[in-house]
Copies of this chain bind each other. A is one copy, B any other.
Amino acid sequence: MAASLAARALGRASFQEAFAARAFIHAMLEFEAALAAAQAAESVIPEAHAKAIRTACDSVAIDEAALVAEGRRNASLAVPLVKRLREHLARSSPDAAKSLHLGATSQDVLDTATALCLKPCLEEADRTLEATVRAIARHAHEHRATPMLGRTLLQPALPMSAGLKLARWAAALAADRERLAEGEAAGLALQLGGPIGTLQSMQGKGPAVRHRMALALGLADAPEWQSHRNAWIDLLDRAALVALTAGKIARDVALLSQAEVGEMREAPPREGVGGSSAMPHKHNPVACAQALAAAVRLPGLLAALHAAALGEHERALGGWQAELAIVPEIAACLGSALDFLDTIGASLVVDAGRMAQNLARHGERGAIDTQAVDEILAGLAPYLG
């Protein structure tokens, strides 16, 4: 499992499965099988070898602890994985063993496996974002003329539409969703380059093999990115922006949930949720806590990601290896953000009565201008159908 026990309690279950040790090993094996299949299709290796490799990938037993221990001696999990797989394969198909991992290198396996683990997370992010935008846009529409106090610098400013605040959240998430989809199209790519990124052992078929393999794995096809990683980093930056918006919304919701304010809540109080080990009466905004913890961690993780990319020559020493540890953490933060979005999408409570009371206490009353909320809602039309 990716992450410490305490971190897991902040994380999203499905994301933890996506980056679990088993899933990562599976992804590495999928790389090898897909490589062989693509090489067979391009006649770089015999079809029979590709089949044997596929079978071996499906049947090999990998001991996690041994893999990690040997991986440590080589600063690469791929070295022992390929070795173990080759031994397994050699037992049934000694000939096929020489076609295994042909022309590929460790970073090809590890980068691609990471991308494969991230893929379902991004798909889930897209679905959650869509659903959340729909849900919040509906709240916004419903409350487009509900007056609430606008607040700036944590002080009362002027009355505004509650729907405007909600519509801004929805619009921000909708824009994040678009940015993420664009980033995925460019940045969730197969890494296949071989030792120095030239695919030179593939008899001139390198690009064709890469293209087939990318298609089979559901990843973008692009020249190797082992030493220039900006498309990948850009994708992760965009994922971080999703979590940043979630964190900002969580901060707003948490502030509005303060007992003295009481204008919104992430969800109605529920038995067994948000409890305290010391004060049974409490209902803590746990989804907000999760989103805020993620948003607080992410800037530093992005800093690490960017720092890791400043690598040497054709493959860095330490940089991309660090990334292998950083990316699952970034994904975990995105998962926490999605958990929060699921919660508020399903059960956000908007208390128009408390809004009115708070406004009245500040001597504010009267009609609310809805032009601004209507402009944003117009942009959210696809989500309001």
Identify the 3 closest CB pairs spanning chains A and B, nearest first. Answer: A292-B318, A300-B304, A9-B71
Query: A59 at the A/B interface (Cβ < 8 Å)?
Result: no
In the complex, chain B residues whose CB is within 8 Å of the CB of A297: 304, 307-308, 322, 325-326
In the complex, chain B residues whose CB is within 8 Å of the CB of A75: 9-10, 153, 274, 284, 286, 289-290
In the complex, chain B residues whose CB is within 8 Å of the CB of A255: 154, 312-313
Q: How far is the CA of A120 from the CA of B188 in the complex (A)?
A: 32
In the complex, chain B residues whose CB is within 8 Å of the CB of A106: 276-278
Interface residues of A in 62-116 (CB under 8 A from B): 64, 67-79, 82, 101, 103-106, 109-110, 114
Query: A219 at the A/B interface (Cβ < 8 Å)?
Result: no
Determine how close the nearest CB of chain B comes to the CB of A318; give it in whole angstroms.
Answer: 3
Q: Which of B7, B70, B273, B302 contacts A73 (CB 8 A)?
A: B273
In the complex, chain B residues whose CB is within 8 Å of the CB of A250: 318
Determine how close the nearest CB of chain B comes to the CB of A101; give it in whole angstroms.
Answer: 6
Q: How far is the CA of A313 from the CA of B154 in the complex (A)?
A: 7
Q: How far is the CA of A230 from the CA of B169 in the complex (A)?
A: 12
Give how many A residues have a beta carbon under 8 Å from the other chain's beta carbons: 157
Interface residues of A in 252-287 (CB under 8 A from B): 252, 254-255, 257-261, 272-279, 282-286
Chain copies in complex: 4
Query: A197 at the A/B interface (Cβ < 8 Å)?
Result: yes
Pairwise interchain contact A325-B3, C-beta atoms closer than 8 A: yes
Q: Which of B105, B285, B361 contacts A276 (CB 8 A)?
A: B105
Majority SS at the chain A contact face: helix
Contact with B along A42-78 (1 / 0, CB 8 A): 0000000000000000000000100111111111111
Q: Could you say which of A33-41, A122-130, A367-375 contacts chain B?
A: A367-375
Pairwise interchain contact A321-B293, C-beta atoms closer than 8 A: yes
Q: How far is the CA of A354 from the CA of B69 in the complex (A)?
A: 33
Pairwise interchain contact A324-B10, C-beta atoms closer than 8 A: yes
Pairwise interchain contact B310-A74, C-beta atoms closer than 8 A: no
Pairwise interchain contact B289-A296, C-beta atoms closer than 8 A: no
Give 14 new A-B contacts, CB below 8 A, not counting A150-B196, A258-B260, A297-B307.
A5-B67, A6-B114, A8-B68, A9-B71, A106-B277, A150-B197, A151-B312, A154-B285, A176-B230, A199-B371, A260-B358, A289-B321, A293-B322, A299-B302
Query: A381 at the A/B interface (Cβ < 8 Å)?
Result: no
Pairwise interchain contact A230-B252, C-beta atoms closer than 8 A: no
Pairwise interchain contact A299-B307, C-beta atoms closer than 8 A: yes
In the complex, chain B residues whose CB is within 8 Å of the CB of A230: 172, 175-176, 179, 241, 244-245
Q: How far is the CA of A97 from the CA of B261 in the complex (A)?
A: 37
Q: How far is the CA of A278 from the CA of B76 in the complex (A)?
A: 12
Determine how close the nearest CB of chain B comes to the CB of A291; give it in whole angstroms.
Answer: 7
